[in-house]
Chains A and B, each alone.
Chain A
Amino acid sequence: MQDKLSDDQPFLPPRSLLLLALAAGLAALLAFAINADAVVAWGALGIAVLALLGWAFTAPQQVRAVLTGRTLRFGGTSLLVTLVVLAALVAIYTFVRQANLSVTLSESNEYALSSEGRAAIAAIGADPSLPQVHVTTFISATAAGIRDQLELLMAEYVSTSQGKVISEFVDLDRNPLRAEQMGAGNPNQQFVTRLNAEGQPDLEEGELLRFFSQDGLTNAILRNAVAGDFRTWFIEVEDGPGMNASGPEGLSTLSLGLEQQLDWTNREVPLLDFTRPASALRLNDPAIDGEIMIVAGGSRPLSEPELAVLTDYLAAGGKLILLAAPGLETGSAPLAADAALGDWLYQHFGLRFRNDMVLDRSQAFQNPLYPVSTELDASHRITQPYSRGFALVFEAPHSIEIADEPPTSVTVTTLASSSADSYNMTDFSAVLEGNIEPEETSLTGPLVLAAAAENSETGARLVLFGSTSMLANGFTGINGVANFDVAVDSIFWATDFEDWFSQVNIQSAARPQDAPLFADAQSIALINVITTLLLPFGILAIGALVWFNNRESAPQGGQ
């Protein structure tokens, strides 16, 4: 028998109490899930219980109907079947979700690997000698949307690299310690590092990407996988500028730049350290990506054993930058202009320093002892970027003698020359006394102040600079003076660092879809007419016509 509601209803409809109980119950559930100690949660639960009791007291017949008769029989079955169907749908969804299947239709480089990135990451995967790279992506429920997209992209990184890239998502809220260890503070930041010997992410060597960009991530992975081992040997010489010296003549700007910005390894060593039996130092190591020896200044000629180390190194394809000490520093031949070294260089590379000093009274920096070179070679990789609008300042430099016929397989290039008004002097004592008039035997400009030589057979590369001012701290940051830039580029050229760097520094090509929209006045007018008049009012006109026809046909249908 069906129970019917009494006409004598209470002021508050019992059904609304039931709805209130349901709403309060849901609110309590949510509040408990968010924060179990919340007063709101307990309050909502209390309201739900009271509303349920209120419903039972005000409409006992409804309670009876729910518990007995047709409602229970049919409604219960219906509810059960509905719950089973919904549970089945949830199960299907969960199964598909875990399968993690997706297709990226977009040509955007944001959420799918660009072709350049794909090629670079695939190359890492194909090289068994490279280590695994661990990418930690910091996520948060507050930025869940971007997390979904990054999950897809990272899955592509992992599959393209054949597992060489390991991806891990770390919730900032659940694992703040991990975030602190890696220096992350915001969602979607990424920490990229190679695995250490224990198979754990190397926290010391990794790098944090503060803002997400696909190229940035790919390059960070490449840098960590193909971590270049580049070394600079600063040779300790008598009266030479120190690698860590921070004064105007020191080389600290260069050494810090190489170490901190490019992750190079710098060592200041005497030449004979390479030959000591117990020494771990080794030149021409094929396992490393590049090395260069820098001999800056030096008032004393190299000893025979020292010269042997240097020449053996060059003969085996070594890279050397040789900077002569300013001529005024010494009365005798300095290291760079010593006859023994000079002869060897001339014989094997077709160039050597003269034991002289170049002066220029018309094109100089402050005084003639600082000749300025504006004639920089526009074709060589070292000086090409500075061939227009830049100058090199040399401090009492030695000139460079270049052989008319360079040795076989050797190419010599003049990088910088003094002006036509310059000249050289060999009587240093006269210069010290203030007499800078050209001597009878003086050579006149232009005189070579910087030159590069390359032996294509051995791979040896040599750059000679007339004075140490090319690398000195005191000549950095002077407007229009490219001393430091040219010196750094000579290091890059000698070690082929740029070739290596270009391999680990990809730049995705711009897509046609990234081109900005542009509409001229005629297009704007046409778009305006189509989108705000033709289309909407056309639809409205059709609607009016349909309505009119229906209105016309209605009486006819009725007849």
Chain B
Amino acid sequence: MHSILAVFRRELALYFRSPVAYAIAFALLLFLGVLFNGFIAQANAALSFGSGIPADAGFAPNLLTFLMFLIAPLLTMRLLAEESREGTLEVLMTLPLHESSFIIGKFLAAWAYYTVLLLLSLVFYVLQGFIGVPDAGVALGAYGGAWLYGGAVLAITMIWSAVTEDQIVAAFLGSATILVLYLAEIAAIWIAGQGSSSLVADFVRELGLQAHFSVTLAQGIVRAEDVVYFICVIIGALFITTRLVETRRWRA
């Protein structure tokens, strides 16, 4: 545990000393800010036409989960690929700590940085509270869900950082994997539309990320299976990453 904490502190400090992390936060918040202003303008316009748009407590978490196919690879691409390219991974492996310790430590650091981003996005929920009544239950579910979703996505993209020494390749493969998992629900609809067994469509859908977030957690419905899905993805992805790093011991 001490070794995990040590790696976590070191990696987290690296994040907050890196201008890239601030650039990611800047771009993300600016993007969300512009969209939020558009949303408010749309709500005002709708009201003038006699209808109206209620507050959307899941505004920021929903957008964040979509943007994770860009953010997660940027946050994790260097974690292992850089260590591997610079040869420091082998040095780390000579230290008296298990591979899983520094992988978990690095993952927790990335997740902590993502948590800070998520917390910053709470400003959109607070601002809606001044001009409407956002559903606190939906916010709790959506933010909690987005946090788990982010953890799962970061863990998956870490696998590619362990596979390749090239950060760009790791980021590209990570991004593609997240997009595939994000679009699994659409793929399931397509498969169902082909007239095949709906079991296959259901399987593909269950595999995807959105089926466990957008229709349940993002709506304030907390299902045990969704929470367990994200936890299992995190554990599974971290286990695979550890195994991949471990191969260096017997491949060398």
Q: Spell out A's residues near B (CB within 8 Å).
A: 30, 33-35, 70-71, 73-75, 78, 81-82, 85-86, 89-90, 92-93, 96-97, 99-108, 110-112, 140-142, 144-146, 148-149, 152, 171, 173-174, 512-519, 523-524, 527-528, 530-532, 535-537, 539-540, 542-544, 546-547, 550
Contact = CB atoms under 8 A, between A and B. Distances in A.
Contacts, number: 237
A523 B131 contact: yes
Interface string B25-49: 1110110111011001101101100
Contacts of A89: 232, 235-236
Contact of B127 (A70, A85, A530): A530
Given A145-B211, A535-B123, A93 B30 contact: no
B26 A513 contact: no
B94 to A, nearest CB: 18
B26 A70 contact: no
Contacts of B229: 93
Contact of A106 (B135, B201, B247): B135
Interface of B: 16-17, 19, 21-23, 25-27, 29-30, 32-34, 36-37, 40-41, 43-44, 46-47, 51-55, 120, 123-124, 127-128, 130-138, 140-141, 185, 188-189, 191-198, 200-202, 205, 211, 214-216, 219-225, 228-229, 232, 235-236, 239-240, 243, 246-247, 249-251
Contacts of B137: 104-108
Contacts of A100: 225
A104 B220 contact: yes
A30 B184 CA distance: 13
A539 B30 CA distance: 10
A517 B52 CA distance: 7
Given A148-B215, A519-B40, A542-B22, A105 B138 contact: yes
Given A89-B232, A141-B192, A531-B124, A536 B131 contact: no
11 contacts: A33-B200, A104-B221, A105-B221, A513-B133, A516-B46, A517-B40, A518-B44, A524-B40, A536-B30, A543-B21, A543-B23
Contacts of B26: 536-537, 539-540, 543
A546 B17 contact: yes
A105 B29 contact: no
B220 to A, nearest CB: 3
A16 to B, nearest CB: 14
Nearest to A521: B44
Given A149-B221, A518-B44, A518-B131, A81 B243 contact: yes
A519 B41 CA distance: 8
Contacts of B185: 144-145
A546 B16 contact: yes
Contacts of B46: 516
Given A34-B200, A106-B221, A518 B132 contact: yes
A82 B47 contact: no
Contacts of B30: 532, 536
A171 B240 CA distance: 37
Contacts of A535: 29, 33, 120, 123
B37 A531 contact: yes
Nearest to A33: B200
Nearest to A524: B40
Main secondary structure of the interface of B (DSSP, over half): helix
B53 A152 contact: no
Contacts of B135: 106-108, 513
A80 to B, nearest CB: 11
A519 B38 CA distance: 12
Given A142-B192, A523-B131, A102 B221 contact: yes
Contacts of B128: 517
A371 to B, nearest CB: 43
B55 A513 contact: yes
Contact of B198 (A174, A524, A531, A543): A174
**Which 10 A-B pairs give the minimum distances between C-beta atoms?**
A543-B22, A516-B52, A106-B220, A141-B192, A105-B137, A531-B33, A74-B250, A141-B201, A145-B215, A101-B224
Nearest to A90: B232
B184 to A, nearest CB: 11
Contacts of A174: 198
B23 A527 contact: no
Contact of A513 (B54, B195, B205): B54
Contacts of B133: 512-513, 515
A283 B165 CA distance: 91
Contacts of A523: 130-131
B232 A93 contact: yes
B171 to A, nearest CB: 19
A96 B228 contact: yes
B201 A144 contact: yes
Contacts of A173: 192, 195, 198
A97 B49 CA distance: 44
A385 B223 CA distance: 49
A546 B16 CA distance: 8
A93 B127 contact: no
Contacts of A105: 136-138, 140-141, 220-222
Contact of B219 (A97, A99, A106, A516): A106
Contacts of B240: 82
A536 B29 contact: yes
Contact of B222 (A73, A86, A102, A546): A102
Nearest to A82: B243
A92 B34 CA distance: 42
Nearest to A105: B137
Nearest to B216: A148
Given A108-B135, A516-B132, A528-B37, A93 B225 contact: yes
B228 A517 contact: no
A85 B241 CA distance: 13
A141 B251 CA distance: 45
A527 B32 CA distance: 12
Given A142-B189, A536-B33, A149 B216 contact: yes
Given A89-B232, A537-B26, A519 B44 contact: yes
Contacts of B47: 516-518
